[in-house]
Chain A
Amino acid sequence: MKILVCISKTPDTTAKIAFTDNNTKFAEAGVQWIINPYDEWYALVKALELKEADASITLHLLHVGGTDSEPVIRKALALGGDEAIRVNAVPTDSYSVAAQIAAVAKDGGYDLIFTGKETIDYNNGVIGGMVAEMLDLPYIALATSFQLAGTTATVKREIEGGEETVEVQLPVVVSCQKGMAEARIPNMRGIMAARTKPLRVVEPVAAENYTEVAEFGLPPAKAGVKLVSPDNVEELVRLLHEEARVI
């Protein structure tokens, strides 16, 4: 059994959000990079749990990105996994990234492909679905729990107004979110081991960009808070009713 976990790199959640080049590029200077939380906390840790339960599982991590992504890939390997693959292409749009992932996945013959539910920078949440379509595989989006018995997966997924449990035969693509697993902190042994784990670099396949960011912007600042005394809660409700008109 082979599992592929797709790992994206995102700015730290406290990073200052600013833009350069006439508001067409994210200002990367001084930014700390992390593994996209959904990929790390849920997709990767769930895959590690599966491997811990069945040592015969091979676990590969896949990242599409330049050389400067390698520290983030090593951080992911410190949590676990047998080897990492980096497709040597700077990600530009979801479709082209999905095409790179699909190409690697096809060659590797994976039984299970995990992604996070979305990245916290572009908030697209579309890579898993695109990869599944490119590979003609079923796709379970927004999974909150995953269990494996042989080649049958039992997955809980978020639906409108609740959750439902579905059964599917491998191979399958699953996007992971909260509930799947509990975030882990890498230990010293993991960090040491990660240094010598194989990190294979593959060249990208030809893939088109279907979209492009034309311009970034920041939302207008709030006007400032109107404070109401705790002894006059009725006044707050009056304001919400008459001024803001939301009650």
Chain B
Amino acid sequence: MSVLIFIDLVDGQVKKAAHEALTYGAKLAAQMGTTAEGVVLGSEVSSDLGELGAHGVAKIHQVSGDGFKEGDAQVFAKVVADVAEATGADVVVFSNNTSGKAIAPRVAVRLKAGLVSGAVALPETDGSFLVRKNVFSGKAFAKVSVKTAKKVIALNVNSFTIENGDGKAEVVPFRAEVPTSKIKVIGSNKTTGKVSLTEAEVVVSAGRGMKGPENWGIVEDLATALDAALACSRPVADAHWRPHNEHVGQTGVAIAPNLYVAVGISGAIQHLAGVNRSKVIVVINKDPEAPFFKAADYGIVGDVFEVLPKFTEAVKKVKGVA
């Protein structure tokens, strides 16, 4: 009996989403009176795996080899399921990031385990196994009962606070048969250096109120000052003012940052659906009747072209960079 956490590597590094999953898995193990172990696939790791013990995992199984370079979910799932079986894991935890979304469903099928994807809190484990997740794009939540002996949970990004103690994890090699990848990576386009939209603590998002793509400079300035990721409303992406991967909402990316700043966005129900899990929402809109104000924590009724530069300056002052 144990909890196994899949440690996702992004360019060989353990990122925020993996730290969240590790903390979650360790806390779940403690709650269930069992131990937490991690699994990492691949040899090229630039993070110190032993230090992940700080989250409460005792042991990390590392499967070496370069069979994982193509990011083939079929290969990953087979090996993770092998490790889960060999270590007698009852629960396997993933981050519900782009890798988790591809691998977790396959692992669930292999282990004949019930899967909850998009979990936002620790399960209730007294008698039943109930996992809370968002449904209807954050307009509601559900407590999902997992009825199988084995369980797989994919934890939403930015939904669980990372905790660090002072433990060290023992890193042990795990020998697995790694199947040949059926897919081949032939190119990539990464926004290196920038925070990913789903992991970002702060997001600055702009809508049609910006009038045109040529006006995004003041939005980017604010994002830079706040160290924020950029997002936009759907019509902005549809009109190709901004790239598709910035489109947030019910039919775009769903996010849950600490701070969401929405400028020139009306706050249509489909937009709110993807951003309503943000902890603090700030709205800047010239229309006092804009529906977004009803969902906001702080707001300014005003013209973005006047307010944004002042906002950026004030942020720089507080952060001590100007």
User: Which positions in A face B, CB cutoff 8 Å?
Assistant: 11, 13-14, 17, 19, 37-38, 41, 93-95, 98, 120-130, 132-134, 136-142, 144, 154, 157-169, 178-179, 209-219, 222-223, 225-230, 233-234, 236-241, 244, 246-247
By beta carbon, the residue of chain A nearest B257 is A246
Q: How far is the CA of A233 from the CA of B225 in the complex (A)?
A: 15
Of the candidates B70, B144, B300, B318, the one whose C-beta lies within 8 Å of that of A213 is B144
Residues of B within 8 A of A214 (CB): 128, 130, 142-145
Among listed B55-63, B105-113, B161-169, B206-214, interface-contacting one: B105-113
Give the top 9 A-B pairs by smallest Cβ distance, nearest first.
A129-B105, A230-B302, A162-B190, A210-B114, A164-B188, A141-B102, A126-B105, A133-B109, A237-B314
Report A69 CB to chain B, min CB distance, Å.
19
Number of interface residues of B (CB under 8 A): 101
Interchain Cβ contacts under 8 Å between A and B, 11 examples: A13-B273, A98-B105, A157-B98, A161-B10, A164-B190, A169-B182, A211-B147, A212-B145, A214-B144, A215-B130, A225-B283
Q: Is B142 touching A216 in the complex (CB atoms < 8 A)?
A: yes
| CB contact under 8 A between A241 and B183, given known A124-B117, A215-B143, A225-B283 | no
User: Are the CB atoms of B259 and A240 closer together than 8 Å?
Assistant: yes
Which residues of the partner chain A approach B237 to less than 8 Å between Cβ atoms? 178
Q: Is the interface of A mostly helix, strand, loop or mixed?
A: mixed
Q: In whole Å, how far is A119's beta carbon from the nearest beta carbon of chain B? A: 10
Q: Are B251 and A178 in contact (CB under 8 A)?
A: yes
Q: Which stretch in B24-32, B40-48, B72-80 binds the other chain? A: B72-80
B226 interfacial contact with A, CB 8 Å: yes
Question: Is the CB–CB distance between A210 and B137 below 8 Å?
Answer: no
Interface string of B110-142 (1 = CB under 8 A from A): 101111111000000000101001111111111
* Chain A: minimal CB distance from B79 (Å): 13
Write the nearest CB–CB distance from B111 to chain A, whole angstroms: 10
Task: List chain B residues, Cβ under 8 A from A228.
Answer: 298-300
Interface pair A178/B136, CB less than 8 Å apart: no
- The B interface is mostly helix, strand or loop, or mixed, namely mixed
Query: Known contacts being A129-B73, A159-B188, is A219 close to B141, with CB within 8 Å?
Result: yes
List the A side residues contacting B134 at CB < 8 Å: 123
Say whether, besides A222-B297, A230-B301, A164 and B184 are in contact (CB < 8 Å).
no
Please determine whether A167 and B311 come into contact, CB atoms closer than 8 angstroms.
no
Residue from A17, A167, A212, A225 within 8 A of B136 (CB atoms): A17
Q: Is the CB of B315 within 8 A of A247?
A: yes
User: Is B215 on the interface with A (CB-CB < 8 A)?
Assistant: no
The residues of B that contact A236 with a CB separation of less than 8 Å are 282, 298, 300, 311, 314
- Assess whether B106 is in contact with A247, with CB atoms less than 8 Å apart: no
Verify A216–B140 contact, CB threshold 8 A.
Answer: yes
Bound Cα distance from A90 to B21, whole angstroms: 33
Closest residue on chain A to residue B81 by CB atoms? A133
- The reply to whether B106 and A129 form a contact with Cβ atoms under 8 Å apart is yes
Closest to A160 in B: B10
Residue of A nearest to B78 (CB): A133
Q: Judging by beta carbons under 8 Å apart, are A230 and B273 in contact?
A: no
Q: Which residue on B lies nearest to A141, using beta carbons?
A: B102
Residues of B within 8 A of A124 (CB): 117-118
Please report which residues of chain B, range 62-102, place their CB below 8 angstroms from some CB of chain A when the two chains form the complex: 70-74, 77, 97-99, 101-102
- With beta carbons under 8 angstroms apart, the residue of B104, B141, B190, B269 that contacts A13 is B269
Q: How far is the CA of A133 from the CA of B106 in the complex (A)?
A: 5
Interchain CB contact under 8 A, A215 and B142: yes
Q: Which of B289-322 contact A (CB under 8 A)?
A: 293-303, 306-307, 310-311, 314-315, 317-319
Cβ A140 vs Cβ B183 within 8 A: yes
Contact B115 A126, beta carbon cutoff 8 Å: yes
Contact (A230, B303) CB under 8 Å given A17-B140, A162-B191:
yes
* With A123-B254, A239-B298: A138-B74 Cβ-Cβ less than 8 Å: yes
